[in-house]
Structure 1
Amino acid sequence: MVMELNPDLQEKKIFLIEGLKRTYKGQYDAIQPLPYIKDRLYCVDKVFVEGGVEVCLAPELTSGTGGSWERLESYKSIYTDIRFKSKRRIIQGEPGYGKSTLTLQLAYDWCNDVSDSPMNNVEILILLRLRQLGSIKSLYRAIKSFLLFNEPRVSKHEIEKIIHSCSSVHIILDGYDEYPGRDSNDNDDVHRIIKMELFADFDVSLTTRYLPESLRKETKRAKLTGFDDKARDEYICKAVVGNNDEAVAEIKQRLNENSILADLCQVPLIFVMFAHMAHDQRDLMKFKSVTQFFKHMIICFYDHLKQKFKDNRSNKLYLHEMEHHKLDKIAFVGLNKKNQQLSWIKTRFRQRVGPELYDQYILIGILVEEDVVSDDSTGDNVLFTTMVRFYHKLFCEWYAAHHLVTLVKNAHDLSDMLRFLDPFDLQYLFRFACGLNPNAGKKLINHLKGLPGGDKFAILCILEQTGDVNDIMDSVKELCSRRVEIKKGDSALLQRSTTQLLEIASKNHIPISCVLLQSCSPRVDESGLNLILQSGLSLSILSSLQKLWIGEGDRKLTNEEWAAILSYSSQCTILTKLQFNWYDLPDTIPVGSIPPSLKSRNVKVWNKIDFGRSRRLNLQTGQWQACDFKGNLLRGEVFSTPVFFDNMRSLESFSKVGEGLGMAKEELSFSHKFGCSTESEKV
């Protein structure tokens, strides 16, 4: 129920809105693409580029990987798409994927009345960075302390009255995974808001790396999937070189020359740094590993500061650049915990690394400071503590890797030492360590090979160790000689490792016998050059791929999607077979959408409907032709849309149909159990 405000509170409401806009402007006008260049700040609207955005359209929220994900055209669709209508939205994304930048863009839209923004008709926008809240449990107190600290004319109690009087309020809670009270049983306002026990009529968006443990079914999920080629091109034009086609082509060429960084540059934050460095440094070297790239980036941080110092401080900087043992240990201990520690109290941190080193880390941009509410705060007496964290988690992994190398070199049993270091969450920690020291790398690689799915990741670590693709060729050839599977349930690390190894094989002309995408619901991006998996990872064109199998789709492909996959397949130049297992495909394919190269190479396109029903696409007519179980064409026959048998039919009668199609007994039993029909009809 909207409450009427008296004239005094109406004036206070104006002060509140003006105060919020001042605070947001100070935040969105201070975007810093290169952390070591502190005098180069941008407004978020000048650098914001939309990466991939997908939404989960499943009816229930069951797990982080469940549900059917569908790509959106724009971040605005998170709020405008009728299928995603909800009062509670979760926006997921890995570190550096732009969650906080997106929230600042929304704040910019609200402050500047951007007409086509979903924030345009919102009366009041509340944007809070949850990592700053500390022990604050009251939303009104948090608003006063962090958003209206420079507006003395509005009190905490007046904020409460004003908010309840508004017809439209949008609350954005940024960084739940860094919230001090995350996953606790505290009945604070943040958890009450998430559970719709507070402000049930307000729109609430929550950004996070992972899903909170307890959520209502009303909550909808979106996820940021990073930069594709189109987004990277747009960023280069918008924020780096403008409409200079030659400069754009030069930066893109430098990225292509460093293909080993393709996965890393899917992370917007890392690509942004790479793009600016590639533009600023005409002699940017070629990198053979991500370790080499990161080492170069740290050198750039220090070189920029050295240029400012014309005295003996440059020599000190060189020594400090080489000696960072204390920082290494702090980073490692922070990551090697059941609940990772990614921020520290400034006074203690500064004392541990030494005041001089600490000040340089801050000046260089490796570390950043931020005020959070102190646990000593009481009542209305809000006290602040300055916390320090790494500019990005990757920097934390970089320095932790140096300490890990020291420990591993002298260790006999790694399992206990690494018990909290999950390579599926900290992949670059392991890759950096392998790249920094060959001896420690060998021990880590042997450890990784013993983990489920770790063999593929271990191959990438070997590449980090040597920097030479030739050193992993035997492993890549052995991997590609058999069927390579990418499954929906695979960890992000396993999928990444697999796709990178396949791309290495393709670029080195190593035959890839067969790739099976199991329950991955792939689609092709707008460029037609990448196959996008349900996880958001992309698989570029594999010129040495021989067979591509796509299995168990959870929805019917449209003619456009189907044509895009055919187009992708046609560019895999030695592909002989494209097969869809248990997929609902269009009944007829427009002949004009079938690429000529598929026809000229006579690529076999199959649709295996169930254990007894297969059909093959006639590339000349766009019609499906019936096949027996072994894939041989049945003249004059096509299959109808699958029909389910009556459960009362006996296995004996079912077998008579299946035996004519060459089905084995165990396959007949399976088909009958799940009610699959093998009926066909004459044309």
Structure 2
Amino acid sequence: MELTPDLQEKKQFLIEGLKRTYKGQYDAIQPLPYIKDRLYCVDKVFVEGGVEVCLAPEPTPGTRGSWERLDSYKSIYTDYRFKSKRRIIQGEPGYGKSTLTLQLAYDWCNDVSDSPMNNVEILILLRLRQLGRVKSLYRAIKSFLLFHEPRVSKHELEKIIHSCSSVHIILDGYDEYPGRDSNDNDDVHKIIKMELFADFDVSLTTRYLPGYLRKETMRAKLTGFDDKARNEYICKAVVSNNDEAVEEIKQRLNENSILADLCQVPLIFVMFAHMAHDQRDLMKFKSVTKFFKHMIRCFYDHLKQKFKGNRSNDFYLHEMEHHELDKIAFEGLNKENQQLSWNKTRFRQRIGRESYDQYISIGILVEEDEVNDDSTGDNVLFTTMVRFYHKLFCEWYAAHHLVTLVKNAHNLSDILRFVDPFDLQYLFRFACGLNPNAGKKLINHLKSLPDGDKFAILCILEQTGDVNNIMDSVKELCSRVVKIERGDSALLQRSTTQLLEIASKNHIPISCVHLWHCSPRVDESGLNLILQSGLSLSILSSLQELRIWDNRRLTNEELAAILSYSSQCTTLKELLFSWYILPDAIPVGSIPPSLKSRNVKVWNYKYQDSRRLNLQTGQWQACDGNGNLPGEEGFNVRSYQESLAKFNRARRK
């Protein structure tokens, strides 16, 4: 559509107005919320973490689809295999979804040549949590992105956008959108369902998937920071390529073994890196609960220094006594539709003006304008809303109230009616770390839920109570199959591996470990299985059965390395490869003698065809119904012949 000269001029006003708004946002990155005078441009601190893309947007029931790791977030938009007008970028709390959107905005504003936003005429970036009940996209753009640009009306905005050859819309934070998962026929839902702006590129960030995605929608997932990303962030944003300082921070991270893995969560790592650089006497932490407790103390210490101790008693009181804040946080999370922001006036009345001002000054709470429901037409009214700096902080304070409720409760189902542990992992972890007695009740509750054992694992590692209580839980969990899945969060995977290592070091039998689509490989030392997430699984001396499920090809060298690793798990009885494409035969010399001496059963299972490795010949063979090969005690000839016939039929296919 051709624009009149007047609208052409207003199009330029529109673009300049958007860039002015985005600059104000991407120039205000605050790694430590309590240090408000230390702001960064996003380009100075943005570091690429892990990114995966789903190659099968509509996996068949019971499968997780096929995911592939990408070298860069840019490939989400540039790789021809992922061409789509709708993209979902998933990520857990603190994994950098919003930071990524600001980097894309920076790229667009500054014409970064290798950015996927370089050829985009108009970029629309909206934070969905601010939209309130606004149903019109144009009204949202006018209210939040062009509030300082009176020369472009909402009606003109619509004409200009439809005239553009390239428009990219980024909707940030669907999980915090007030109208999420509702039946409202607003523009956000129409856009996701491709009923509106079907020709525009749209990216949606969220912690979970909307329930009405079209098959054209491409899914990407942020998987957090690996060692390379952590090193890059330290050099780029903390110490400016000072090698000695980099090594010092890395050493502090390594000293905090639990945080070394939790710091795959970018938000946690960023705060840790800056604190490790600023504090020469940084303590060691055994849990994320203790780290968070220390971090809150740093918030208050920084504020006390500003006032030079004149109000230290007041600060101490607010630091230790925050019952009403705890209650508000828990009430917000314990709802069918979570409440993550509150009206400033009512919020301040509940906790008191002095406490409120202090939380704002410290950075635990932040204020943000939201469109008022009373707005009409172009007459936009705003209400000041208040929210926690990050949802993790909301979960931290809510956990304190949860502890109070759980300690005195006989039935947790009513208390936790709307609290979903799949969504609020940190709430449970913090509560278990804050109070061992409440933690024990919560762990028992989690175990009663489908797949709840995994969340119990996270909480067990936070407990600070009697080690025997922890060992009892470890024994119970390891008596069943412990599954590590590719779709698990890095945090959950690492917590599971830590559980297994605790069991192994304490000689607790591990019944079975099932690695599902984790594509494990053995490191150069031969002592660790490296999962696709980058996490490692050390040798488990008390492991009895290892199952590895993946639909890919293994070379002779890869298979020999896994056999070598398995041979060092001294109680292992069975090793099963499921759906792998394995070499037809294995050189006898690459089969570890300890596997032979212990007669470990090594299986290759595909479809309904199961074969067992003859450790003496290196051949895969059919066996009888009890898993015995010819010559072994208890071998059944008739059963073997039936299995052999089935095996040969499968080979001919």
- Length-normalised TM-score, structure 2: 0.87
Distance 2:500 2:436 in 1: 24
Distance 1:178 1:20 in 2: 23
Structure 1 residues 330 and 60, CA gap change in structure 2 (3 angstroms)? same
Specify the SS of the correspondent of 1:320.
Answer: helix
Structure 1 residues 589 and 101, CA gap change in structure 2 (3 angstroms)? farther
Q: Which residue of 2 aligns with 1:286?
A: 284
Query: 1:61–1:217: 8 Å Cα contact kept in structure 2?
Result: no
Q: Which residue of 1 aligns with 2:553?
A: 557
Query: 1:454–1:494: 8 Å Cα contact kept in structure 2?
Result: no
Amino acid at match of 1:629: C
Structure 1 residues 615 and 449, CA gap change in structure 2 (3 angstroms)? closer
Distance 1:473 1:259 in 2: 19
Query: 1:543–1:573: 8 Å Cα contact kept in structure 2?
Result: no
Amino acid at match of 2:130: Q
Specify the SS of the correspondent of 2:463.
Answer: helix
Amino acid at match of 2:120: V
The answer to whether structure 1 residue 677 and structure 2 residue 649 are counterparts is: yes
1:597 deviates by 9.2
Q: Which residue of 2 aligns with 1:532?
A: 531
Query: 2:262–2:491: 8 Å Cα contact kept in structure 1?
Result: no
495-504 or 351-360, which deviates more: 495-504
Structure 1 residues 365 and 572, CA gap change in structure 2 (3 angstroms)? farther
Query: 1:484–1:515: 8 Å Cα contact kept in structure 2?
Result: yes
Amino acid at match of 1:660: Y
Amino acid at match of 2:144: F
Query: 1:481–1:511: 8 Å Cα contact kept in structure 2?
Result: no
How many residue pairs match? The answer is 639
538-547 or 38-47, which deviates more: 538-547
Query: 1:427–1:493: 8 Å Cα contact kept in structure 2?
Result: no
Q: Which residue of 1 aligns with 2:579?
A: 583
Specify the SS of the correspondent of 1:225.
Answer: strand
Q: Which residue of 2 aligns with 1:639?
A: none
1:58 deviates by 1.1
| Equivalence map 1:309-458=2 (5 Å) | 309-310=307-308, 312-455=310-453, 457-458=455-456
Distance 2:95 2:12 in 1: 35
1:330 deviates by 0.5
| Equivalence map 1:32-431=2 (5 Å) | 32-60=30-58, 66-310=64-308, 312-431=310-429
1:133 deviates by 1.3
Distance 1:6 1:485 in 2: 62
Q: Deviations over 1:570-609 (max 9, x none)?
A: 5678236784533232547999xx9x99757668765333
Distance 2:416 2:128 in 1: 30
Query: 1:170–1:204: 8 Å Cα contact kept in structure 2?
Result: yes
1:567 deviates by 5.2
Distance 2:57 2:157 in 1: 36
Distance 1:41 1:489 in 2: 35
Distance 1:408 1:587 in 2: 55
| Equivalence map 1:590-629=2 (5 Å) | 606-614=603-611, 616=613, 625-629=619-623
1:395 deviates by 1.2
Query: 2:579–2:607: 8 Å Cα contact kept in structure 1?
Result: no
Q: Deviations over 1:305-364 (max 9, x none)?
A: 100002532221111111111101101111111221111111110111111100110111
1:65 deviates by 7.4
| Equivalence map 1:472-491=2 (5 Å) | 472-477=470-475, 479-480=477-478, 483-486=481-484
Distance 1:456 1:521 in 2: 16
Distance 1:564 1:12 in 2: 62
Amino acid at match of 1:234: E
Query: 2:623–2:629: 8 Å Cα contact kept in structure 1?
Result: no
Distance 1:104 1:449 in 2: 40
1:204 deviates by 0.7
Q: Which residue of 1 aligns with 2:639?
A: 659
Specify the SS of the correspondent of 1:191.
Answer: helix
Query: 1:92–1:210: 8 Å Cα contact kept in structure 2?
Result: yes
Structure 1 residues 283 and 614, CA gap change in structure 2 (3 angstroms)? same
Structure 1 residues 590 and 411, CA gap change in structure 2 (3 angstroms)? closer
The answer to whether structure 1 residue 522 and structure 2 residue 519 are counterparts is: yes
Amino acid at match of 1:556: R
Amino acid at match of 1:328: D
Distance 1:258 1:126 in 2: 41
The partner residue of 2:28 within 27, 30, 33 is 30
Specify the SS of the correspondent of 2:649.
Answer: coil
1:499 deviates by 3.0
Specify the SS of the correspondent of 1:180.
Answer: coil
Amino acid at match of 2:531: I
Q: Deviations over 1:84-112 (max 9, x none)?
A: 11011111111111111110111111111
Structure 1 residues 601 and 13, CA gap change in structure 2 (3 angstroms)? farther
Structure 1 residues 433 and 479, CA gap change in structure 2 (3 angstroms)? closer
Instruction: Structure 2: state its 5+ residue gaps.
Output: none
Q: Deviations over 1:87-141 (max 9, x none)?
A: 1111111111111111011111111111111111111111111111122222222
Q: Which residue of 1 aligns with 2:568?
A: 574
Query: 2:51–2:222: 8 Å Cα contact kept in structure 1?
Result: yes
Distance 2:590 2:247 in 1: 29
Amino acid at match of 1:218: E
Instruction: Structure 1: state its 5+ residue gaps.
Output: 636-655
Amino acid at match of 2:569: L
Considering only aligned residues, what root-mean-square deviation do their CA atoms show, in Å? 3.6
Structure 1 residues 407 and 613, CA gap change in structure 2 (3 angstroms)? closer
Distance 1:206 1:330 in 2: 29
Structure 1 residues 524 and 149, CA gap change in structure 2 (3 angstroms)? farther
